[in-house]
Structures are given as structure tokens and as C-alpha cells.
């Protein structure tokens, strides 16, 4: 079995297996019947060989959560979530419940995931993703929290809407500019247009300096790797 398939099965088993009968995934017209909701998900002991090495991972950042309530019985709460992915190659977004019961404060915890690229990618404009999650009538939840890779957004009034700011810098024009780490001073005499500040990237950043090696070849589609020369300029940027 390929490493990516093992990761995919483990991720889905850990999170999808926790979904209970209190809610149904998908659009209102595609809700499963009650028998299907009550049945525990079954996962094969092994997966067939495939050329697809992509895996499901949390999207980079959640930027909006809305809950709409249906006007006709049976009442349903429809959760719609927006987010951004590190590149525009992410697909199949969905909302995955972390538990089948409310947390101690009555919050439904959801994770916003999608299928990530199978290989490292040069920066592109951030991808835009949205997904819908349907909660059956009579649910016990008082609020909804949706988590991405780098943030979480809490909506404490249903129905209602809340949003968060998107990352400022997608790094499509990073190469040739000077990198400024968190808490570091900007180099003297360099204009703001020639600087890339770590706090604007909105992602986990790995900086490889000219004199350094690469200790691991692990893959993280939400991590931005920057190769920085001795002069402080970015020579290469890649989401890996």
C-alpha cells in the first residue's frame, strides 16, 4: 500500500468514523436515510492500488461560516463554510465532524478538509473552496466552530454569519524579494514592496538558508518552503 493511501485511510477513519446520527453530510437533497445514519462506517483493511497519491488535509484557512435555517418542516440547519487553500489545485472540499456529541460548551466541532495536490507546487493564487453540512432538526448544538490548518472560526448564533480575514500574501511574487521572519527587523533601505513578511503568509513557513541542508523530505501541502540566499533574498518558493 502506498504511503499516501495509508494516510488517507487513517485520516478518514479518525474523523469520518466519529460522525453520528445527529447530522448528515452533503446537500439537503442528498441526505442519507435514518438507517444509513445509524450504521457505523466500515473501512476496508486494505485499499486497491491507485496512481492517485493525493490525500485529504485541512484547508489553509477558514474565512467564513454561515448557518441558514429552513423555513418548512422538518426544520434543518444548513451550515455553509468558505475557505482558502494554499494553491488552486485543491479539490473535493467537505466538512467533517470531530465528534458525534457537543463539546462541553455545546459547540459542534467541524474540520474543513479537501483533497490536496499529490506533489509539491509552485505558488499560485490561493484557491477558494466552500462546503455545506446539514444538521437535522432537534440537534443539541448551541454554536459551531470550524477549523482549518491555520485557524478556527466560531459562530455562536444560529442562524447567523461570521467571517475572518484571508491571508495577505500568496507568494506568487516572492522570488527576488527579501524575507523578514516574525519579530525580525526589516533590512535598511529596502522598500515595503520588496519585502515578504512571514506574518503575512498565513501559513507554516520553512526557511532553508544557502548554507543549510534538508533534514526531511516530509510532505505538508499547507507548508511554504522558502530557499533564501546569503543576501536575504528569496530564491525559491514552493508549497510542499
Whether 187 maps to a domain, the answer reads: yes
Q: Which domain holds residue 218?
A: 178-239
Specify whether 90 is located in the same domain as 30. yes
Specify whether 113 is located in the same domain as 183. no
Locate all alpha helices (DSSP H) within the chain, ordered by sequence: 3-15, 34-38, 198-201
Question: What pLDDT is recorded for position 217?
Answer: 83
Question: What pLDDT is recorded for position 44?
Answer: 43
Question: What pLDDT is recorded for position 22?
Answer: 40
Question: What pLDDT is recorded for position 39?
Answer: 36
| Cα gap 82→63, rounded to integer Å | 6
Residue 208 has pLDDT above 90, yes or no: yes
Specify whether 157 is located in the same domain as 67. yes
The three cell numbers locating residue 81: 463554510
Whether 171 maps to a domain, the answer reads: no
Over the range 190-210, which residues count as b (16 or more CB within 10 Å of their CB) and which as e? eeeeeebbbeebbbebeeeee
Whether 81 maps to a domain, the answer reads: yes
Specify whether 159 is located in the same domain as 182. no
Specify whether 147 is located in the same domain as 191. no
Whether 105 maps to a domain, the answer reads: yes
Q: Between 199 and 47, whose confidence is greater?
A: 199
- pTM strictly above 0.85: no
The three cell numbers locating residue 33: 436515510
Specify whether 52 is located in the same domain as 157. yes
Domain containing 226 — which CATH number?
3.30.10
Neighbours of 48 (CB within 10 A): 7
Over the range 157-172, which residues count as b (16 or more CB within 10 Å of their CB) and which as e? ebeeebebebbebbbe
| Cα gap 8→41, rounded to integer Å | 15
The 234-239 sheet, strands edge to edge: 204-209, 223-228, 234-239
11 falls in which pLDDT band (50, 70, 90)? very low
| Cα gap 106→39, rounded to integer Å | 24
Whether 54 maps to a domain, the answer reads: yes
Residue 29 has pLDDT above 80, yes or no: no
Structural domain count of the chain: 2
Specify whether 123 is located in the same domain as 8. yes
Mean pLDDT for the chain overall: 82
Q: Is the link from the previous residue into 74 a cis peptide, with omega within 30 of 0?
A: yes
Whether 173 maps to a domain, the answer reads: no
Specify whether 183 is located in the same domain as 152. no
Amino acid at each position: 500500500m502506498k504511503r499516501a493511501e495509508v494516510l488517507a485511510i487513517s485520516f478518514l477513519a479518525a474523523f469520518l468514523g466519529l460522525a453520528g446520527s445527529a447530522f448528515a453530510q452533503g446537500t439537503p437533497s442528498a441526505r442519507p436515510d435514518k438507517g444509513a445514519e445509524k450504521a457505523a462506517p466500515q473501512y476496508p483493511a486494505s485499499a486497491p492500488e491507485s496512481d492517485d497519491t493525493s490525500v485529504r488535509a485541512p484547508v489553509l484557512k477558514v474565512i467564513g461560516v454561515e448557518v441558514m435555517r429552513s423555513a418548512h418542516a422538518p426544520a434543518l440547519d444548513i451550515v455553509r463554510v468558505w475557505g482558502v487553500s494554499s494553491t488552486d489545485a485543491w479539490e473535493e472540499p467537505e466538512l467533517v465532524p470531530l465528534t458525534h456529541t457537543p463539546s462541553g460548551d455545546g459547540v459542534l466541532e467541524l474540520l474543513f478538509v479537501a483533497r490536496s495536490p499529490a506533489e509539491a507546487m509552485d505558488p499560485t493564487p490561493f484557491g477558494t473552496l466552500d462546503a455545506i453540512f446539514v444538521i437535522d432538526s432537534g440537534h443539541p448544538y448551541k454554536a459551531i466552530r470550524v477549523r482549518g490548518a491555520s485557524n478556527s472560526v466560531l459562530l455562536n448564533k444560529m442562524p447567523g454569519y461570521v467571517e475572518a480575514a484571508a491571508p495577505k500574501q500568496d507568494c506568487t511574487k516572492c522570488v527576488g524579494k527579501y524575507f523578514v521572519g516574525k519579530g525580525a527587523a526589516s533590512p535598511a533601505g529596502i522598500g515595503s514592496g520588496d519585502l515578504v513578511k512571514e506574518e503575512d503568509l498565513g501559513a507554516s513557513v520553512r526557511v532553508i538558508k544557502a548554507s543549510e541542508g534538508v533534514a526531511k523530505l516530509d510532505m505538508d501541502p499547507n507548508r511554504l518552503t522558502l530557499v533564501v540566499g546569503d543576501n536575504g533574498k528569496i530564491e525559491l518558493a514552493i508549497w510542499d
